[in-house]
Amino acid sequence: MAKENVASVVTPESAAAAAVPPTNQSTHGACAPRDAVKQQDAAAAAAACDHGPDAAESVTCGDQIAWTTIVMLGMLCAFGPFCTDLYLPAVPTITRELLTDAATMQLTLTTSFLGLALGQLLIGPISDAFGRKRPLYVSLIVFALSSVACAYAPNITFLIIARLFQGLAGAGGIVLSRAIACDMYSGAKLTQFMSLLMTVNSLAPILGPIVGSLITTFFDWPTMFLFLALWGILLLVGSIKLVHESLPCDKRSPQIRAAVWAMFKECSNKRFMCLALSLSFVQGSFFGYLASSPFIFQTIFGLSPFAYSMVFAANAVCITIAANGAGFLAKRVSEPLVVRLALLLQLVATLVLGVEILFELHSIVLVCLSLALFVAMMGSAQTAGFGLVMGSRTGGAGAASGLFGVLTFIFGALTAPLVGLMGETSMLPQFLVMLGCTLCALVLFHVGLKQHHLYTVLARLLIRYLPAQNALYIATCAWPRLRYALLRAT
């Protein structure tokens, strides 16, 4: 039964495997050779994976996924962000004890974010060539070792370098958890699964500062990094026990060079880039909110650190609810409709904040509600849009996930400084960042969907006037996206 379910799911990898040259056959007899090709492909896949180390553990789309697996992938996806959130409460203490200044200390955060971005570019293509489990194991081991190095850093330079490697290793959890989800699901099922991952992932900004504060209150700061090392080891053990290989041997890239080339080739995929950039603008506006929220609530409205943490936690809960709502709606309406609705509600929330700023209402309730709606719709847009982005790829899921992850971090790095251009007492930069990012996201999302409609129309014309095998061969020689649309249409 599992094999039948796998055959019904079309991915770019299966599209490439199904493309064969046309033969001299009639339209009436096209189905039999196509079935024979599928049987040969299945036999070849089984033969190839029999020799692989992860053959017995391959995951199929028809398998029932346990909650333990969902929690494990959610924790891996929150791996990098949790490390940053846990680390923040100890920054002043580390600055004093390592005899450095605040500007140099900020480099430990910068290098960590740089590692999280570059690591996704590296680990994504590697996982397309070697499978998901082995790169995951290596990244968790490196993370544990780099965390120990951070704990025993003798000076700030050593800590900066160790944080870079910690970020590189932490990127593995982000990119591989997304790639595993894409290997197992597509379409509405992927949206529902991502909503569950978002539920676990949204706990990171809530628990991270709380756990970090508790550790720094009762222990010295190296204990925090030792805790991260222990956590990395526990995730390694959990991954060995609970996370199965999701990329069969016959779907892997023949070599790393081919996987890296496929990732750069993805940049010419207009639909993928438009949708990925659209969600990157959404994520960029969220990074702007993260950077400006302490000043908005603590400096402008005078909230205490504890009250601010409660507002921050409430917004994180809103993200969780909205993400699960997107997964629920995906069962009944299309994912593009969910994303459009989320972006439009983000625009409404932005305009409400603009009214508050324009008329100087100075209402903390209005600001809280508008920002809560904005960040909640970020969760809905990311949950429903991720499946659309990954469904538009032409190469491996690991490379595409890595490229998408890097784009989100780039936009976050660009928007975070912009919200502070007018000082700590103005919300105008935050409003302009939210407005600009939301409008760009709406336009790019619309353009990306138009690319999909073009390929779908061409694919239907080929199916109507040509035998299936000939149409598939022509689509393969023309554009990979047309080939993918053709297989989805059939």
What pLDDT is recorded for position 22? 42
For the stretch 248-279, pLDDT in tens is 888 888 878 877 887 888 888 888 999 999 99
Name the amino acid, one letter, at 253: S
Query: Above 90 in pLDDT, residue 151?
Result: yes
Compute the chain's Rg from CA coordinates. Answer: 24
- Tokens read off for 97: 């004890």
Q: Measured between alpha carbons, how far is residue 93 from residues 214, 366, 373 in Å?
A: 14, 36, 35
Out of 17-21, 269-273, 381-385, 465-469, which region has the weakest mean confidence (pLDDT)? 17-21
What pLDDT is recorded for position 84? 74
Closest CA to 392 of 301, 315, 483: 483
The model's pTM is 0.72
Contacts made by residues 349-353, CB under 8 angstroms, sequence distance 24+: 349/373, 349/374, 349/377, 349/434, 350/374, 350/431, 350/434, 350/435, 350/438, 351/435, 353/427, 353/430, 353/431, 353/434
Distance, in Å, from the CA atom of 359 to the CA atom of 118, rounded to the nearest integer, reads 43
Residue 17 banded pLDDT, cuts 50, 70, 90 = very low
Query: Above 70 in pLDDT, residue 163?
Result: yes
Residue 215 banded pLDDT, cuts 50, 70, 90 = confident
List the alpha helices (DSSP H) in 185-334: 187-201, 204-218, 221-242, 256-265, 270-294, 305-329
Name the amino acid, one letter, at 166: Q
Range with top average pLDDT, 29-33, 314-318, 392-396? 314-318
Task: For residues 157-176, give the mean pLDDT.
Answer: 91
Distance, in Å, from the CA atom of 335 to the CA atom of 390, rounded to the nearest integer, reads 13
Task: For residues 193-211, give the mean pLDDT.
Answer: 76
Residue 434 banded pLDDT, cuts 50, 70, 90 = very high
Q: Can 64-269 and 270-392+419-444 be said to share one CATH topology? A: yes
Whether 76 and 232 have beta carbons less than 8 Å apart is answered as no
* Eight-state DSSP code of residue 64: P
What pLDDT is recorded for position 430? 92
Residue 472 banded pLDDT, cuts 50, 70, 90 = low
What percentage of the chain has pLDDT greater than the value 70? 78
Superfamily of segment(s) 64-269: MFS general substrate transporter like domains (1.20.1250.20)
What pLDDT is recorded for position 474? 57
Which fold, 270-392+419-444? Growth Hormone; Chain: A; (1.20.1250)
- Tokens read off for 59: 């995951």
Query: Above 50 in pLDDT, residue 95?
Result: yes
How open is the CA angle 146-147-152, to the nearest 5 degrees? Answer: 95
CA dihedral over 37, 38, 43, 45, signed as positive or negative: positive
For the stretch 127-140, pLDDT in tens is 988 899 999 999 99
What pLDDT is recorded for position 40? 44
Query: What is the full DSSP assignment across 394-412?
Result: SS-HHHHHHHHHHHHHHHH
For the chain, the structural domain boundaries read 64-269, 270-392+419-444
